[in-house]
Structure formats: structure tokens, C-alpha cells
Structure 1
Amino acid sequence: MTGRPITVAGEALVDVVQDQQAREVPGGSPANVALGLARLGAPVEFATWLGDDARGHRIADHLRASGVRLVDDVFRATRTSSAVVRLAPDGQPRYEFDIEWDLPALPQTPRWLHVGSIGAFLEPGARQVAELARRTAAAGGTVSFDPNIRPALLGSAADERVVFERLAAIADVVKLSDEDAAWLYPGLPEDTVLDRLLAIGVQIAALTTGAAGSLLATSTHRVSVPGERVDVIDTVGAGDSYMATLIWQLQHHGGTFGPISRSMLTELGRVSTRAAAITVTRPGADLPSVDDLVPAGTEPETVTSR
């Protein structure tokens, strides 16, 4: 695919995984989304904040190997951020963070901007992320947002819900997990959470529900997409894989989308679910390539009304 890249803005860090033996692997939700988009063949640039150290350059090399372009001035942090990851028996990760976050300047307004996770909430970078999102929307670009909530780094749910909704109101596409929804909107049913997102202006809202699958909603359609039965190794990167694949499908034929039919909404969820299912069968955030998802000689279907 040619043309201007998708811009992903957010944190990249080293996951220090504590399992049979301690190991360090590149991570961070926005970094994973950038990686996933590049592996699917999308042009992507990544605005992040790394230390000029061994960990930072290892992350950069990992992303570049899959085709991600790093924007200028990313190596300005005093240290590369890290997270200690401990996997529960069911493969779910638990994190302890050491984060430094800011955002390098982007002289060009993105045509598609994806933001999320720590980078959307932690200052001083969060303020710049929000401004970049506003700038993108004002210029007619598309904004996608995945909060990927990390409670250990945040204030109260009530305070952070204000931050979340302020950014969600700018976004065209919002994906959150059932855990995100439960933290941001305790006690609200999942359908009510989707209603709330649509009411503040989100065009496509997706809510992932782990092995059960996902719910996707627009102002005219709502679908439930079942999960795939697979042998889970760990769930690191599953939500990021879903998000990257959703973006990839939506922008594949030009970066804009009109009214979406029920069948197309279902297909968006089905392919994104497939990507997440592939990821959980692999250790770490090893997101799928386009060849893993799309049979040879075919392309994702254009997102248009039918």
C-alpha cells in the first residue's frame, strides 16, 4: 500500500516477563499496534519516547524489522520505560510499571492517527496526544483510540473517565476491553457502554470480551462476533492485534469509510477476532502478518455501504 502512513502515538517499553526464566521483550500497546499494522502491510510511523540506551535501540530494531518507521527525535527519554509482567495461570498478564512518557513533535498532521493506553493518560505526553488528536480531526483525518486501561498508573475511575470521554469524543473508532469498560463504567452493561460511546460521537465502537469474542456497534447496527477456540499460550498483545486489524481493514481502501452494513460490521469483527486468536497461540506480542489472515490472491473487502 502506498500513500501517507498511519501515525501511531504512544508508549513503547520493555516487558520484563517473569515466567520460567526472566526475559525482556519489546512491548507497549501502541507499539504493538504499530507493529501489527506494519505486518499487515500498512505504511505506519510511530511517535514514541525512548531512552538512548540498549533497551531503547532494541525496541527500535524490533519495530523497524517489521517495517515501522520511527519519527524523528524519539530517543530523548532519560531511560527506556519498562514493565514487569507476571503471567497468571490462565495466561492473563499482570504489570508493574516504570514509565517516562512524552511525545516528540510531529510537523505534519496525520491522515489517520491511532492513540491509546498509557500515552493517552500519563502527563506530560497525554496533553500533546490529545492536541494531536484534535488537530487530526479538525483537518478531516481519522482518529482511533484504545484506552487499554492500566489502573496502577491512573487516578480514580471518575477522574480518568473524564479524560477518556474527552478523547473518545474526538475519535471516530474506539475499541475497549470488557476490563476497560468495567473499570471506567462500573456496573454498566456492555451494551450501555457502547450506547454511551455512540452518544458522544464515536462512529464505530468495539468492545472485546476475551474468549467470548466482541461486540461492535454503529449508530445503525450492532453485532456480536463469537471468539475462536484456540489453545492459549498467553494473551499479551491480543487486544492490540484486534485493534491493528480493525484499523487495517477500515483504511485498506483509502482511509475513509462511509455507512457500514451489518454484514461488513460482522466481517470487521470476525477478521479482528481471528488476528487476536492467532496472537494468543504464540508467546508474547507476536502479531500476525497479512499472510496469516488473508488467503493468497484475496484482499480485505472495501468498507462501504451496501
Structure 2
Amino acid sequence: MQNPDAIFPDRKFLDVVVVGEALIDVVISPEGIREHPGGSPANVAYGLGRLGVPTGLLTALGDDERGAAIEAHLSGAGVTLLPGSYSLDRTAVATANVAPDGSATYEFDVDWDLDPVAPADLPKVLHTGSIATFLTPGADAVKKLLQQSHRGCMVTYDPNIRPSLLGSHTEAKAIFEDLAQLTDVVKLSDEDAKWLYPRMSLDDTASHILGLGTDLAVITKGSEGSLLTTPTTQLAIPAVKSEVADTIGAGDSYMAALIFGLLSSGTGSFTPAALERLGKTASMAAAITVGRAGANPPTEAELRDALEQGGMPSDSEGTWRWRRGRDARRPPVRPRAKRCQPCVEPRRPGCRGLCPRCADVH
């Protein structure tokens, strides 16, 4: 096993460490063919860097022109490529075929390997996901890292299912559930959810994931928004309307902004108001990304400007539902009042829900 000091030399200065694949996306669209750096974990790291979060990426690259292009791309966003990341004979490639409606399908030429890692000092957040958590031999090292880290920092996980690279459905689901037990936040798309649990509704899928020990389950639904679920509450956040250039990197931009929001509000803060801010922030980041070609997430300034300018339409407040169950607990109910102050939102008789204007319980 390598010396952790050699793996994370600047770990004390990193808020987030991302572990996973980085590759070159070859995008074939009606406009032509172009290449740019990609890979879900690398996109998340890049998105965090653009948002001003001190971030390191531990990955597996080839010592070639494409590997150098990926490092330069990440460095441009302030992301540190961690030692040990040049471990392959050649850099992986994913070919994305983009349809006229902006949707994409993928083909992969990917190897994934990772030296064993045992960081002594953990970042605030450790993120992993996608191919890196399923493709051996590197997936074994990722799992061991999560086993060593999940009690010492917040762990986030986005499986970003790629069926063409997975084994049997049963095997892939078992891998996902093993890792979900080691994480605090699981984010997946509705397509991921339906592939993993084809007989479950999205609500039931979220509940099942929480039952594995996760504190927050997030399911994104494209143009239909996203669903954020904790053991006590559930929030539906509508998508921000945006003209779609293509959908590449939208989910990764959402994930990066979700981590950004967790760091801003305090990791582990899943109050109703905090969840609403998380959902709106992540949805806005995804909307900005789909409006631009390629995986091109917003900067911190762009995201804050969009949110301050009222990026969410006036009729798009999140829809809350208190979850019932043995472990569900309502927040303290404040004395009844005719109106919620200071926003003067009328209170319905017997209502104990969340005020859609001021995010207060009344």
C-alpha cells in the first residue's frame, strides 16, 4: 500500500477529494465531431473547481496527449490531479452520439485501475461514482477507500449507471447497495433508479436507499426536476427552464453543485430549508450546463448571479411532504397564528406544513 502522504500531499487544503475515472469524450453530433475531457467523477471535480471549491481528483490516466489534455483541463479549474493518477497504458475514451434533441448515448473504451489508498487526513467530502465503482480491478480499491473513510468524512456517491460496462443486473445492484451503505448522500438519475429497481416507484426507490443507511437520497428527473428525500422529509424541486444545447454533464454539474451546497450549509445539515436551498442550487447549475455545449458547468459567480436574479420561476416552489414511519419525527410545531410572519402567507386551518415563501414551519 502506498504512503498516504504520497497520495494526498495537500490533503489538508482540499475540501473535496473525488475518486473516479477521467477520460476523453468524443462527441458526434449533427454539427460534427469534437473531443473534450470527460468522465463523470472528473466532471464533478471540474464543476467543483469552477465553483471555487478546493478539490483534488484521484484517477487513472495514460501518459499520453489525451492524459495531458485532461490534466490541463482540470488545472484550469483549479483542480489538483493527485499523485498516482498516471497509472494506465493509455487514456480512456467515451464516444457520445448526440441526437438532434440533445440526448446522448455512449460507447466506452475504458480500463480502470487504482493503487490502494489509505488517506490519513480526510477531506470534508469524499465523492466517487460511475464506472470507477463497478469496473474491476479499480472498483475494489474504491470500495476499500470508502470502508476506511465513511466514518471520518461525508461520502457522496453517484452510480451513473452505464449498462454496457456492467455485469449482470443482480451483480451491479449488489455492488451499488454495498457502496450505498458506506455513503451519506446518494444521487442517481431516474434512469439509474429504473434500471436498478424496475419494479419500484421513485418514491419507493428513495426509501429503499435510505433503508441502506444513507442520510439523503437524491433522484434527478431531467426536465421534471428532482426529488430529495431524507428519513423525515421529501422535497420535489422543479427543473429550471432552459434551452437545451445538449445534456452532457448535466447530472455531474448537479452533483457538483449539490456538494457545493452541502459545504456552504454545513455537511450533514438536512433541515427542510437547507434541503430546499440544495435542490434549487443544484437544479440551477444543471440548467446552466444544459444550455451550453459539452460538460461546461457554471462558475461560482455565474451560479450565484443566476440564483440572485430569481432563476427559479415564481410558481416553482418545492413541494414538501412529511414522511411518516417509525423513525419519522415532525419538527416542533409553533403556536397557531392567523398568518405566517413576516411573509403574511395565509395559514390553512390545521396546517403544519412548510410555508412556501419563508421556509418556516407553522
TM class by smaller structure: over 0.9
- Helix, strand or coil at the partner of 2:217: strand
- Helix, strand or coil at the partner of 2:97: strand
Quick one: percent identity of the two aligned structures? 47
Shift of 1:105: 4.4
Runs of at least 5 residues in structure 1 that lack an aligned partner in the other structure: 299-304
- Does the 8 Å CA contact 1:242/1:273 hold for their aligned counterparts? yes
Q: Which residue of the partner structure matches residue 182 of structure 1?
A: 194
Mapped partners of 1:102, 1:251: distance in 2 = 29
Q: Of 110, 130, 150, which aligns to 1:99?
A: 110
Is structure 2 residue 271 aligned with structure 1 residue 257?
no
- Does the 8 Å CA contact 2:95/2:108 hold for their aligned counterparts? yes
Mapped partners of 1:5, 1:288: distance in 2 = 19
Q: Which residue of the partner structure matches residue 62 of structure 1?
A: 73
Is structure 2 residue 43 aligned with structure 1 residue 32?
yes
Q: TM-score, normalised by structure 1?
A: 0.93
Q: Of 182, 195, 214, which aligns to 1:170?
A: 182
Shift of 1:104: 3.8
Shift of 1:66: 0.5
Shift of 1:292: 1.0
Mapped partners of 2:15, 2:280: distance in 1 = 25
- Helix, strand or coil at the partner of 1:76: strand
Is structure 2 residue 303 aligned with structure 1 residue 293?
yes
Q: TM-score, normalised by structure 2?
A: 0.79
Shift of 1:263: 2.3
How many pairs align?
Answer: 295
Mapped partners of 1:55, 1:261: distance in 2 = 43
Q: Which residue of the partner structure matches residue 212 of structure 1?
A: 224
- Does the 8 Å CA contact 1:11/1:119 hold for their aligned counterparts? yes
- Root-mean-square deviation (Å): 1.7
Mapped partners of 2:219, 2:225: distance in 1 = 9
- Does the 8 Å CA contact 1:175/1:207 hold for their aligned counterparts? yes
Following superposition of structure 1 onto structure 2, how do residues 24-173 of structure 1 map, counting pairs within 5 Å?
24-109=35-120, 110-111=122-123, 112-138=125-151, 140-173=152-185
**Structure possessing the higher relative contact order (Cα contacts under 8 Å, 6 or more residues apart):** 1
- Helix, strand or coil at the partner of 1:25: strand
Shift of 1:268: 0.8
Q: Which residue of the partner structure matches residue 269 of structure 1?
A: 279
- Does the 8 Å CA contact 1:6/1:42 hold for their aligned counterparts? yes
Runs of at least 5 residues in structure 2 that lack an aligned partner in the other structure: 1-11, 309-330, 332-359
Shift of 1:92: 1.2
Shift of 1:4: 3.4
- Does the 8 Å CA contact 1:214/1:224 hold for their aligned counterparts? yes
- Does the 8 Å CA contact 2:132/2:142 hold for their aligned counterparts? yes
Mapped partners of 1:212, 1:150: distance in 2 = 22
Mapped partners of 1:99, 1:208: distance in 2 = 26
- Does the 8 Å CA contact 1:114/1:145 hold for their aligned counterparts? yes
Q: Of 202, 205, 213, which aligns to 1:193?
A: 205
Mapped partners of 1:248, 1:22: distance in 2 = 32
Mapped partners of 1:4, 1:235: distance in 2 = 29
Q: Which residue of the partner structure matches residue 24 of structure 2?
A: 14
- Does the 8 Å CA contact 1:72/1:104 hold for their aligned counterparts? no
- Helix, strand or coil at the partner of 1:86: strand
- Does the 8 Å CA contact 2:87/2:114 hold for their aligned counterparts? no
Q: Which residue of the partner structure matches residue 247 of structure 1?
A: 259
- Helix, strand or coil at the partner of 1:216: strand
Q: Which residue of the partner structure matches residue 301 of structure 1?
A: none
Larger Rg: 2
Mapped partners of 2:203, 2:160: distance in 1 = 19
Mapped partners of 1:76, 1:159: distance in 2 = 27
